[in-house]
Amino acid sequence: MNSVLIDLQHISKVFPPATVALSDVSVSFRSGEIHALVGENGAGKTTLMKVLYGLERRDRGDILLRGTHVDFRNPREAIAAGIGMVHQEILLIPEYTIWQNVVLGAEPVHALGALDIRTARERVARKIDEFQFNLDPDAPVGSISVAARQKVEILKLLYRDVSVLILDEPTAVLAPQEVGQLFLELQHLRDKGHTIIFISHRLDEVLGLSDQVTVMRRGKAVATSPASRLTKEELARQMVGRSVVFAAERSPAEPGEPVLVAQGLTVRTTDGRDALDQVSLQVRSGEILGVAGVEGNGQFELVNAIMGLSTIAAGSLFVQGIDLSHADILTRRRFISFVPQDRGRMGASLPASILENAIMTHHILDRSFRRWRGLALNYRRAIALTRQIQHQFDVSMENAAAPFQSLSGGNQQKVILGRELLLEAPLVLMDQPTRGLDVGSTEYVHGLLLDLRNRKKAVLLVSADLDEVFTVADRIIVMSRGQLVADLRTEETTREEVGYYMLGGKDAVHAQADI
């Protein structure tokens, strides 16, 4: 057994006034292992790592590195001690090349402070070779894929000679094949003697990759065990504190008439590129159509084209036989319930009250919200709707006048879902509806989607999470480079096949060879 490298003892952290983020957490990380830290959102995984990394102060507890007490006041000190963290959101400068991003803050210099460009490039290139990262040091970061950016983040830490890598949900933005590639690279790093702490809530990944697994729940470390002795069900039970049903009960679909009919939808960017290229699709009532694809391959443009948020250069859009190709957004809202991907920006106004967020769109479309010919709002009606959403969608909130941002992520999404579904529109468009939600809330949303199908709504679900698409969708279309590259029946396809289409082109051939 390897020696203990990092020992966290009795760590406690309270966010004022009284949110207990960590309570008496003790975990040991051994050198040369991949140690997964799993738990639902808000379980304290990230907070624990931030405490270790010097980004958060702890209230109690000790941190030991190789047996000696350490107390990093900022990430810089942690990195100097050989501990590096890759955050959930990627922090790079798109205007800089890969080598510039990597050396930033630790640049080799000539006399007079001139950047020693040759040495810098060479060092970065050597690290890339050493860890077999397959990156071009001169490529601008703005032009490379998300997976490559993640590698640049890791490279940045390796350049600073860290021996411990903390990765916060690194797979959230990757396609299945890219996840496989990342895992190979992480195993390679471990074999070279690095220690990897891996935060995740995807159970399959955790079991496939790690040596040790620590489960956290509500700020406590529940258990640490070798991955080889765990099953997915056991892990889920530890995480949630109860048994979880993985396969949502899905009866065979009985689709009816087409509700959404789109022909040749094309959206052009300002530089003349077709971000959405001749996409045609149909969604029938009582059917869930899943849109899969690596992010940034036209899904967002498709959503915008359907909602009227961007103007289509060509094509047509009909909902229930009504031409909406060039209709304004308000007209479309009568036919389409819309849950956007960005809760905090497009889905809701965070500083506005829960009530104000709950009645958005309703107060325009539904005349009963008006008083005095629309000069005033019918508050009684507004409160009634908010209460209805609260009860029907099981939102835990105290005061409807409280700011929306005081709700947890899951509850925010429930309010938005409630608002949209109570519009009772024939078409429901959901863009990443479970992003950032914990297992419990995700389960709830999936149940809701299947219920919509039973009520003969047409559902278009855009998701970067393949598991989600496979769980709920009846049909799966795959987008790549703005085009619709595959239209598959869920029962007749596999994740690998969808992944193959997601990567498209040359990459796809490699990916298939790997499988």
Partner 1 sequence: MSVFYGLYSAMLVGATPILLAAIGGAFTYYAGIFNIAMEGMMLVGAFCAVLGSFFLHSWILGIVCSIAGALVMAGIFVLFAVRLHTDEFLTGIALNLFAVGLTTFLLRDIFHVKGAFTDPRIVAIPAVTVPFLGQIPVVGRLVSGYNAIIYVALAVTVVAAYVIFRTSFGLRLRAAGYNAACLNSSGVQTPAIRVWSLMLCAICCGLAGAYLSLGSVRLFAENMSAGRGWISLAAVILVSGNPWGVGIISLLFGFFDGLTVFLQGSAIPTQFTAMIPYVATLVSLYFYSVRKRKA
The residue ranges that bind partner 1 (CB under 8 A) are 75-76, 79, 87, 91-96, 100-101, 103-107, 109, 112-115, 156, 160
In sequence order, the 6+-apart residues with CB closer than 8 A to the CB of 245 are 443
CB of 154 to partner 1, least distance (A): 13
CB of 401 to partner 1, least distance (A): 29
- Side chain identity at 373, as an amino acid letter? R
Closest CB to partner 1 among residues 49, 213: 49
Closest CB to partner 1 among residues 162, 479: 162
CB of 503 to partner 1, least distance (A): 28
Closest CB to partner 1 among residues 96, 318: 96
Contact 223, 215 (CB under 8 A): yes
Closest CB to partner 1 among residues 117, 125: 117
Closest CB to partner 1 among residues 62, 107: 107
CB of 130 to partner 1, least distance (A): 21
Residue 107 C-beta-side C-alpha neighbours within 13 Å: 14
State the Cα–Cα distance between residues 29 and 459, nearest whole angstrom. 45
By DSSP bridging, strand 34-38 and strand 195-200 are parallel
- Pair of tokens at residue 402: 């409280």
Closest CB to partner 1 among residues 109, 515: 109
Closest CB to partner 1 among residues 170, 499: 170
Closest CB to partner 1 among residues 94, 241: 94
CB of 142 to partner 1, least distance (A): 10
The single-letter DSSP state of residue 408 is -
CB of 471 to partner 1, least distance (A): 35
Cis previous bond, 108, omega within 30? no
Q: Which long-range contacts (CB under 8 A, 24 or more apart) does 10-16 make?
A: 10/60, 10/61, 10/62, 11/48, 11/51, 11/58, 11/60, 11/61, 11/62, 11/63, 12/58, 12/59, 12/60, 12/61, 13/44, 13/47, 13/51, 13/56, 13/57, 13/58, 13/59, 13/219, 14/59
CB-based burial of residue 377 (10 Å sphere; 0-12 exposed, 13-18 middle, 19+ buried)? middle
First to last CA, the chain: 32
The vertex-284 CA angle with 280 and 286, nearest 5°, equals 150
Closest CB to partner 1 among residues 97, 337: 97
CB of 166 to partner 1, least distance (A): 13
CB of 225 to partner 1, least distance (A): 32
Contact 484, 478 (CB under 8 A): yes
The vertex-77 CA angle with 72 and 78, nearest 5°, equals 70
CB of 104 to partner 1, least distance (A): 5
DSSP of 437-502, one letter per residue?
Answer: --HHHHHHHHHHHHHHHHTT-EEEEE-S-HHHHHHH-SEEEEEETTEEEEEEEGGG--HHHHHHHH
Give the residue carrying structure tokens 């039973």: 454
CB of 309 to partner 1, least distance (A): 21
Closest CB to partner 1 among residues 120, 302: 120
State the Cα–Cα distance between residues 82 and 164, nearest whole angstrom. 6
Closest CB to partner 1 among residues 76, 380: 76
Q: Quick one: how far is CA 506 from the chain centroid? A: 26
CB of 94 to partner 1, least distance (A): 8
